[in-house]
Structure 1
Amino acid sequence: MRATSVAAPMALLLSSSRAYTLPSLVPTGPFFQDLGNETWVIGNEIWNMTQGRQYGVELYYKDHDCVGDAVGHYVNHNGAQSDLNWTSASIHHEGTYQGATYLDVQFAAREGDMHWVIFAGLAGAYQYFVNRDLPVLGEFRTLWRLDNTTFTHGKTDLRDEALPPLSDYLPENKVQDETWRTPGAGGGGGGGYITKYDLTSWVRTQTYYGVYGERFGSWYINAGKDYYNGNHLKQELMIHRESKTGDAVQLSMIHGTHFQVSAVDEFPEGKMWGPWLWYLNDGSREDAAQRAQAEFAAWPYAWFEDEAYHQRGSVQGQLLLSDGRPAAHAAMFLGDNNQSKTALDMCSDYYYTGYTDAEGRFEFQHVRAAAYGLQVWSNGSEMADVTTEFLRKDVVVVAGETTELATMAWPVSNKTRIFQVGDFDRTSYGFAHGGAPYEHGLVEKCPADLRFTVGTSQTEDWCFGQSKLGSWVISFSLDQSPAPCQREGRSNEEATLIMSLAGYSTGASSRVWANDVVIGNLTSGAAPGLLNDPSLYRAGTTAGEWRYFEFPFDAGTVLRPGDNEIRFEVTNNTTWRGFMWDSVVLE
């Protein structure tokens, strides 16, 4: 079945700066057709897709099959072995919004229901998924695998470039999971690689992304993001070249753990991901951007028929640090009330992120009615020295109301700061190569041995990641030696070394020294529990999963007048794995 060709783009459903006139001879309206034998056709006057038990194929738009020899559309969990199989399809709901008719078509599988909301005049459809019985998993996604001659380029918020040619994926050059040396490249690190992880982006800041070519574009626009797992530092794959067939891959990683420790999550029945918009156009990024602007302005969607979706309220308040400063531009996360997981690993319900203003004030809008836990931490800038985080449970959001939180006090350390290397913000920003574009093997550019002198060296003299065998030393001077600790009361002459990691990939161990005394060890899988996040070996340069460690020691015994050292000695290593730095503080 082929879609009717049209002479011009169709009218935008929602408000936008672009609008077009519907040609009078083109039939309008969304449709659903059951062809029997577990085959269905959905679409409208602009596009249509044939859906089988597993794959959506023959996507026709402007008289062109956008799937071609590629796989098409499907939904799966935990890799390609777990594709969902649709046992039935039906019209879940039909209605009209602002004069446009629509159909909500539901495809049912044992695990849950995939919905396509198809409006008349819309090039694309809104999609959402409702959980029924998903297994415990780490990865859950919907995606398109599209024709690679039609869709030659990919765009995220961070990158816009041609997808690598399939001919560059040489089997003899494969170095790890979906990563190859480029033809003719040497074996050294820092460039010369093809990896699907290059086209990763931050989930909560992306506006639109997709694949496109000279005449066609396929985009995902996620205006609402509360169904995503994780916090501000949640990053995921967006697009890539499928290395076996060359398909152009457009991913909707609605639950993923590619850069996290946790890969074992379960979800309540009824958990809903979406709706998000899958949008087709002529390949114009400017048009996709304008469409995204309209979608963000219209979220939460008034047309969506789901009572719980519309039960929303807001939260506002102010945070002041215990030293009197406002908690300016701090990162805020509204998540699970039971904070047994890190903010990045929270997954089962709905999550909201934001930042305080210069006075420490904040507001979360359009929050689903429920009880939440509030977490706040330094995002650098005016609070770069704040090593503590703020926690508050039982933040209750009531539909149609604003929850007013009284001005809250955030305790901060009152110890004497001896030195700090790097802003405390859970990222590697500020260090050499920190925050660079995604690039496989970049940590190889960091040295095996490094010396940082407090008062002389600059932040950028410290490298973002430590992976090689060797020692990184922080040198500092004291005018006088602290008095030994009083062992009974442990006086304020006890020193604490704070080690904040933006990420850690297993395979490297470190021994932590204060002068000639070992004050700590960091080892894969051992106390204090260094588990793997794949950030360093999956092209990450900014963050993986944040870890925080304190190593107390007797300052009067270990430190001395004059020159002193803190040393991080990597005692065993694995290529491309190790420590991604956030900040080091001695107080």
Structure 2
Amino acid sequence: MKGILATLVASLATTVAAATGPFLTAVDNQTWIIGNEVWNMTQGPTYGVKLYYKDHDCVGDAVGHYVSYNGAANNLAWTSASIVKTSSYNNVPYIDVLFTAAEGDMHWVIFSGQHGAYQYFVNHALPTLGEFRTLWRLDNTTFPNGRTVTKDGVLPPLSEYLPQNKVQDETWLTPDGKGYITKYDWTSWSRPQDFFGVYGDEFGSWYINPGKDYYNGNHAKQELMVHRESASGDAVQLNMIHGTHFMVSSADVFPDGKMWGPWLWYLNDGSKPDAAAQAKTEFASWPYPWLDDEAYHSRGSVSGKLVLSDGRPASNAAVFLGDVLPSSKTALDMGSTYYYTTYADASGSFSIPDVREGSYGLQAWSNGSSIRDVSTTFALASLSVTKDQATDLGSLTWTVSSKKKLFQVGDFDHYSYGFKNGGAPWQHALVAQCPENLVYKVGCSKTEDWCMGQTYKGNWTIRFWNGQEPDAIKEPTLIVSLAGYSSGASSTIWANGVAVGNLTSGATGKTATDGLASDPSLYRSATAAGEWRYFEFGFGASVLKKGVNEVTFQMTRNTTWHGFMWDSIILEW
């Protein structure tokens, strides 16, 4: 038996070595080898191993390639493999290799001479889920570094992950006790990503995801992309095509046929300029013309112009094309089908090309800049996109508040930008640098004098001047916009010593924060956003007075690294 197996392995090795184009070779009914003249990989029932590139095994003792959902709880098991298409594009031959699992189909499109392969997944029976991913776990000596659009450097060595120094989920004190090691510092924004991966002096493995319409969430979607596997030391290249790492939840039901991808998995000699050039080529080529799928190519466009009801253009507004409205999900939580993001220009005009045919809802909100004071959200309940047709929405009126603002702290943009440490590179425990007590004087203090998050027991007070006598007809409204919230903290809101609300147990309607759901932003290294929340707290005009007034956020309950990440605070009447 051993002799037969050895003969088979030797025969396969000869076949692989002699490859002159893309191929699929069956070892047995649970093992296959795929590749081309440049690389090859042995695919087992779950894991892809023995990734040979330039005569080097890039996986080594690491786990290799696999597809999983709900974290690592469910790895897809491949039951068969076949070539479902053999063709050529621009005179370059390619094959489409299909690996089947109970949940759906994983495709590897391999071109002759290509350094890597295109990949895409088609759903057939995935359950309701939050996380769905493909990934490589590669040899840590071959790939010691990681790169995203926001971070580039050496992955922490496994020797620094000391068990006695673990402080929480995937987070450790450094051996000297002066800092932290956590995989979440390697998070980045999903939609602006050009290319990301792991690399060394001789080898690089990259993901290039043009299009991104298969991602869940909106502009604020952020995900873990590379890291050191703390149990084994593997270099991890994580393709979170449906993720929840910084969200309250995202329990989505997917229609049969939902497609994630294609994206390019790209191999090179570790050169970032080369990966950047390849990314530029891929983005210019999307949607990929070689993909034989009618629904994929059934696309139109959406355009329009947003004008505020006070006559101003909605300059640089964030525009999101998502599920038909109303929806029980936030824009960040949406993820069942396909989603598109853009920003309006200075005149409020926007255009979204290559939108898949279907029905959508459109939302827009302030991205700061000249409309930083706009606290309302524009919503168009439904619009239709038809293949090869331009959907021109024309001029869209966005209703904004006509009330007088007594003060505003921070730009209204759904992020903590402008505050101290707001939008700093992902870094664990940065919120701990914010003070227990703080006084912000409207007209004197600067935006950066307010800190990005409140996590200690204490009082944060906004002191402001009101030059008018209270008017019983003009009831004040306190708008509190949170860029994120991590549970374990409670805050009572006071206006001149009168309790007017609570940020974890409010009253009803827009003031209701009872059971405020947690997102992991503050304790998972985020500094700009988690999941955005909006609240209004109305109170009697007699609470205010002519002269100096105060609004105070009193933290009455706290948990380390948990609390409130600020976006903007507005008082108007």
Give the whole-Å Cα distance in 2 for the aligned partners of 1:371 and 1:37. 42
TM-score by structure 1 length? Answer: 0.93
Structure 1 residues 524 and 49 mapped into 2: Cα distance closer, same or farther (>3 Å)? farther
* Secondary structure of the structure 2 residue equivalent to 1:494: coil
1:560 aligns with 545
2:210 aligns with 223
* Number of corresponding residues: 555
Find 1:135's aligned residue among 127, 131, 151: 127
Structure 1 residues 227 and 549 mapped into 2: Cα distance closer, same or farther (>3 Å)? same
Q: How does 1:152-171 map to 2 (within 5 A)?
A: 152-171=144-163
Structure 1 residue runs of 5 or longer lacking an equivalent are 7-25, 187-191, 485-490
In the alignment, residue 475 of structure 1 is paired with which amino acid?
R
Paired residues of 1:3 and 1:47 also in contact (CA < 8 A): no
1:317 aligns with 304
Structure 1 residues 372 and 236 mapped into 2: Cα distance closer, same or farther (>3 Å)? same
1:243 aligns with 230
In the alignment, residue 169 of structure 2 is paired with which amino acid?
D
TM-score by structure 2 length? Answer: 0.95
Give the whole-Å Cα distance in 2 for the aligned partners of 1:90 and 1:552. 63
Mapped pair 1:328 → 2:320: no
* Secondary structure of the structure 2 residue equivalent to 1:334: strand
1:481 aligns with 469
Q: How does 1:95-494 map to 2 (within 5 A)?
A: 95-186=87-178, 192-338=179-325, 339-484=327-472, 491=473, 493-494=474-475
Q: 1:141-198 CA deviation, whole Å, 9 max, x = no partner?
A: 0000000010010000011100111000000000000000000115xxxxx0000001
Mapped pair 1:576 → 2:568: no
CA shift for structure 1 position 5:
11
Find 1:551's aligned residue among 537, 552, 557: 537
1:585 aligns with 570
Structure 1's consecutive aligned runs of 4 or more residues displaced over 6 angstroms after TM superposition are 3-6
Give the whole-Å Cα distance in 1 for the aligned partners of 2:262 and 2:408. 44
In the alignment, residue 583 of structure 1 is paired with which amino acid?
S
2:526 aligns with 540
1:66 aligns with 58
In the alignment, residue 335 of structure 2 is paired with which amino acid?
C
CA shift for structure 1 position 114:
0.7
* Secondary structure of the structure 1 residue equivalent to 2:405: coil
Paired residues of 1:135 and 1:266 also in contact (CA < 8 A): yes
Find 2:31's aligned residue among 28, 39, 56: 39
CA shift for structure 1 position 81:
2.7
Q: 1:313-350 CA deviation, whole Å, 9 max, x = no partner?
A: 00111111000001110000000013321100001000
Give the whole-Å Cα distance in 2 for the aligned partners of 1:364 and 1:319. 14
CA shift for structure 1 position 267:
1.1
CA shift for structure 1 position 527:
3.6
Structure 1 residues 3 and 164 mapped into 2: Cα distance closer, same or farther (>3 Å)? farther
Give the whole-Å Cα distance in 1 for the aligned partners of 2:272 and 2:369. 33
Paired residues of 2:29 and 2:80 also in contact (CA < 8 A): no
Give the whole-Å Cα distance in 1 for the aligned partners of 2:94 and 2:295. 21
Q: 1:11-49 CA deviation, whole Å, 9 max, x = no partner?
A: xxxxxxxxxxxxxxx853100111114100100000000
Identity of aligned residues (%): 65
Paired residues of 1:5 and 1:63 also in contact (CA < 8 A): no
In the alignment, residue 451 of structure 1 is paired with which amino acid?
V
Structure 1 residues 403 and 28 mapped into 2: Cα distance closer, same or farther (>3 Å)? same
Paired residues of 2:16 and 2:40 also in contact (CA < 8 A): no
Paired residues of 1:89 and 1:108 also in contact (CA < 8 A): yes
Find 1:93's aligned residue among 85, 106, 110: 85
Structure 1 residues 3 and 126 mapped into 2: Cα distance closer, same or farther (>3 Å)? farther
* Secondary structure of the structure 2 residue equivalent to 1:560: coil
Give the whole-Å Cα distance in 1 for the aligned partners of 2:197 and 2:42. 21
Q: 1:388-414 CA deviation, whole Å, 9 max, x = no partner?
A: 010002211010010111211100000
